[in-house]
Amino acid sequence: MPMTNLSARRLVLAAAVLGVCSPAIQAQDKVLNVYSARHYPGDVQLYSAFTQATGIQIKRVDADDAGILQRLKAEGTASPADVILLVDASRLWRAEVDGLFAPVKSKVLDDAIPAQLRGKTSAEGTYWYGFSTRARVIVYNKARVSKENVDTYEELADPKNKGLLCTRSGSHPYNLSLFGAMNEHLGSAATETWLKGLVSNMARNPVGGDTDQIKATASGECGVALTNTYYLARLMRSDKPEDRAVMDKVGVVFPNQSSWGTHVNIAGGAMAKNTKNPAYAQQFLEFLASPQAQEYFANGNNEWPTAKGIKISNPALESMSAGGFKSETIPVSIVGMNQVKVQQMLDRVSYK
């Protein structure tokens, strides 16, 4: 049957449409699936910057650390995950042990990230990298407590602070990591005695998150509490008068500056074991160690960058740490290894 003019025009139109759509279809194929426990506004800019630089689109699955690990195990080899982002050393260690990560061989990452802020390294590569840190500091009510009585973690268990201490749940990852570090510093017997002392000094049962501990300390319900630094920085940078009022009433201590230093936890990332896009996954992890991404960590969520040689400008962090502080240097993977032992201690001393 001879082709009509209408049929010919339709073919030309179809060819034109395919020609226009083909690059878009190809672009859609450049997708990276990220399972993230980071729920911070600044990270949206981070992902956008990566896409703009590479053309690789990010698809996110958001959950907490435990939820992500559970999902990965349930999905098994069918998991679409390419990159895993977690916000605690003990969870990173747990995922590594459970075989949920694939090793990465990257000179870029090895040159940028200090060895103590990485996971296990083998001939195949390194299993995860830390990209930002947050310190676990002490806040105290300036009207009720003297700084010199709470300038070490050990003093939180001293009878002089009885009835003053507030914390979130002892089993929360942020506390488990601190307690795991204390086990490394003090030994198991002394750590369990210390945890028992913390329980004895509680002003109330553990409840709420870190911001709740800060506000309860400012109100006088508590005299002293533990918190991650980025919660403090958020209050310091807030435009709300009530947040500024909270910070006026509390002091901040970076503990153990005369001994092993302040405990730091990390947020880190890894390539998923069953990734279908290993090249994209490695490209994204290397991007997280870049000056541009490290600046997002510093100003987007008030975290300290881990990459060597990175200079940041964050007034809250600078004011809080008065130009710097001594941090502990034990490998974060060891902190993770101690979590099971520490949880058993918490159960024995009835730390809720």
Q: What is the pTM assigned to this prediction?
A: 0.85
Q: What is the pLDDT along the chain (352 residues), one digit of tens a residue?
A: 444 443 333 333 333 333 333 343 344 579 999 999 998 777 888 999 999 999 999 999 999 999 999 999 999 999 999 999 999 888 899 999 999 999 999 999 999 999 989 999 999 999 999 999 999 999 999 999 999 999 999 999 999 999 999 999 999 999 999 999 999 999 999 999 999 999 999 999 999 999 999 999 999 999 999 999 999 999 999 999 999 999 999 999 999 999 999 999 999 999 999 999 999 999 999 999 999 999 888 888 899 999 998 887 888 988 888 778 999 998 888 888 898 999 999 999 999 9
DSSP assigned state of 113? S
Chain segment 207-259, per-residue pLDDT in tens: 999 999 999 999 999 999 999 999 999 999 999 999 999 999 999 999 999 99
Beta bridge partners of 202: 165
Residue matched to tokens 């996971």: 119
CB 293 within 8 A of CB 83: no
Using CA atoms, how far apart are residues 223 and 217, in angstroms rounded to an integer? 5
- For the chain, list the domains and their CATH numbers: 25-132+265-314 (3.40.190.10), 135-263+325-349 (3.40.190.10)
pLDDT per residue as tens digits for the range 122-171: 999 999 999 999 999 999 999 999 999 999 999 999 999 999 999 999 99
Q: 127 Cβ partners below 8 Å, 6+ apart?
A: 96, 101, 102, 103, 104, 119, 120, 121, 270
